[in-house]
Amino acid sequence: MPRRLMLLDTASLYFRAFYGVPDTIRRADGTPVNAVRGLLDMIARLTTDYGATHLVACWDDDWRPQWRVDLIPSYKSHRVAEVVVGAPDVEVVPDALEAQLPMIRRVLDLAGIAVVGAAEHEADDVVGTFASHAGFPVDVVTGDRDLFQVVDDARQVRVIYTARGMRNLEVVTDAVVVGKYRVLPEQYADYATLRGDASDGLPGVAGIGEKTAASLLGEYGTLDGLLAAATDAGSGLSASERAKLAAAADYLAVAPAVVKIVRNLELPTLEEAGAQLHPVVGGARAELERLATEWNLGGSVRRLLEALDGNVGFHN
């Protein structure tokens, strides 16, 4: 069986699980377990359906890195619950989900699933680094279109896009990105910079929407090429477009560094991280089965264990 790496944008998935599974599902002490159950079912299905042999749950060690905020202060500012000096700010997370995060980490650990984060960086950056350096095909699972910038048919990197739900997963390749946005994946970060993204607090360039951004990048290739054209009197750029770009000069000087996913973090290798999937045996399996009962995780633990048992043939 050929090797295939799956990279989870873990927060994207556990938020989706939390809102997609009724929070009336609780353990004996009243703590909801809907996000735990939902995430485990997602992992069981995804690894089986897409033939993953290696898996990394990429983690937000810092969901809003200060270096990005220093460049664009509005970056994710609407999601800040509490500003913390000298440490990552506290994100707005429902209490009922926050209570489940230690359980999620515990179950992933017992299942032998690698969890990797990086100081002062988001899970997207961990995804970008692994995806850019893996020596075999990669599936990135996310509901965040920012990660479309890592799609690369030549390197066999694609996105399994969850925005329409787990029953309507979309496999995003070069052609899908072009079909959706009329830009290539390698142009996507420049496109997002121009267009902006209210969900991330990125203002974009006033007066330049999706269609204009795509058209300009189709004409000039990159943001750098577009900005060079804006200062070239002989280019075909209109006076109106020059004025819009000039008005956004300060933003455009810093936004690319915020929008572009980091691809060169110093991370453990897949082997060091323990990314290769394997059946859960011995004490870890017994503890998982015990927690399945104690925490009211229903059949989710069983389905995960069966999915990992099914991977045994990949590693003989």
Residue-wise pLDDT tens digits, 276-299: 999 999 999 999 999 999 999 999
Q: How confident is the model at residue 174 (pLDDT cuts 50, 70, 90)?
A: very high
Residue spans of beta strands (DSSP E) within the chain: 5-9, 54-58, 80-82, 90-91, 114-116, 138-142, 157-161, 170-172
CA–CA separation, 288 and 305 (whole Å) = 9
Residue-wise pLDDT tens digits, 17-68: 999 999 999 999 999 999 999 999 999 999 999 999 999 999 999 999 999 9
Residues 88-99, mean pLDDT to the nearest whole number: 89
What are 274's strand-pairing partners?
none
C-alpha gyration radius of the chain? 21
Give residue for tokens 């008005």: 247
CA–CA separation, 66 and 78 (whole Å) = 15
- Residue 311: what pLDDT? 65
Residues 114-139, mean pLDDT to the nearest whole number: 97
Structure tokens at 161: 């896009």
Structure tokens at 32: 């909801």
- Residue 290: Cβ within 10 Å count: 12
204: left (phi over 0), alpha (psi -120 to 50) or beta: left
Position 92 pLDDT exceeds 90? no
pTM confidence score? 0.95
Position 314 pLDDT exceeds 50? no
- Residue 1: what pLDDT? 72
Handedness of CA 192, 196, 197, 202 (dihedral sign): positive
Helix/strand/coil (H/E/C) assignment for every residue in 178-216: HHHHCCCHHHHHHHHHHHCEHHHCECCCCCCCHHHHHHH
Residue-wise pLDDT tens digits, 69-82: 999 999 999 888 88
Measured at the CA of 49, the angle between CA 45 and CA 52, to 5 degrees, comes to 95
CA–CA separation, 155 and 45 (whole Å) = 24
Give residue for tokens 């002989």: 234
In angstroms, how far is CA 310 from the centroid of its own chain?
A: 26
Residues 82-99, mean pLDDT to the nearest whole number: 87
Measured at the CA of 215, the angle between CA 214 and CA 216, to 5 degrees, comes to 95
Give residue for tokens 């787990």: 166
Among residues 50, 45, 47, 42, which one has the least CA distance to residue 18? 42
